[in-house]
Amino acid sequence: MNTKMISSLVCALGLAAFTTLVSAEQAAAAADNGMSFDDKLKACGACHGEKGDKPLAPDYPMLAGQHADYITQSLKNYRDGRRTHPIMSMQVKALGLTDADMVKLGQYFAGQTGLTTLNIK
Ligand code: HEC
C-alpha cells in the first residue's frame, strides 16, 4: 500500500465517522421534540386506529397483527428514505421517532389482534 492509498483510506474512514456523527446528532435532535412515547403512539392512532386495527381510509394499512420487525423496518425505511410516502415520511420526521420508539411501536401493533391474526386462529 503506498502513501496515496493510505491517505485516501484515512480520508474515507474520516468521512464515514463524520457521517455517523451527523446522523447520531440528527437523531438526538429529532428525538428531543418533547413528545412522550404515548403521545407518539396516539398520533399513529389518528390514521391507523388506536390499536392499529381501524385504518382511516381503505388505502391506509392495518398495523394490528403485522410482524413487529416489518413495522420497525418500515418506519426506518421511511426515515432513511428507502421508502417514501408523502404522509408517512412526514410523520416519522415530525414525531421524531427514535430507533427505540420504532421497536416499541412494532411490538405494540404486532401484539394487537388484526385481520391476519383473526384469519389464522
Ligand atoms: C396522517 C395519517 C398517518 C399517521 C398519523 C400515521 N400513519 Fe402510518 N401510514 C399512513 C399511510 C397513508 C400509510 C401508507 C403509506 C404507503 O403506502 O407507503 C401508512 C403506512 C404505515 C406503515 C407501513 C405499513 C405497511 O403495510 O407497509 C407503517 C409501519 C406505519 N404506517 C406505521 C405508523 C406508525 C407507527 C405511526 C405513528 C408513529 C403512523 N404510522 C402514523 C398514514 C399515517
pLDDT in tens, 34-74: 899 999 999 999 999 999 999 999 999 999 999 999 999 99
Same-domain status, 26 and 68: no
User: How many separate domains does the chain show?
Assistant: 2
Task: State the closest ligand 1 atom to the C-alpha of 95, by its place in the atom list counted from 1.
Answer: 38
Residue 19 shares a structural domain with residue 44:
no
Say whether both 79 and 107 belong to one domain: yes
Other beta carbons within 10 angstroms of residue 40's beta carbon come to 19
Ligand 1 contacts CB of residue 48 (under 6 A): yes
Each as own residue / partner, the long-range contacts of residues 49-54 (CB below 8 Å, 24 or more positions apart, any chain) are 51/109, 51/112, 51/113, 52/108, 52/109, 52/112, 52/114, 53/112, 53/113, 53/114, 53/115
Looking at the structure, tell me whether residues 28 and 71 fall in a common domain. Answer: no
Residue nearest to atom 3 of ligand 1 (CA): 47
Residues 7 and 65 in one domain: no
Residue 62 DSSP label: P
Residues 7, 24: one domain? yes
Q: Are 25 and 40 found together in one domain?
A: no
Q: Which residue, chain included where needed, has cell 411490538?
A: 107
Domain span including residue 78: 35-120
Report CA(48)–ligand 1 centroid distance (Å): 7
CATH of the domain at 95: 1.10.760.10
pLDDT digits (tens, 9 = 90+) for 1-43: 666 665 555 545 554 554 444 455 555 545 557 899 999 999 9
Determine if ligand 1 sits within 6 Å of the CB of residue 87.
Answer: yes
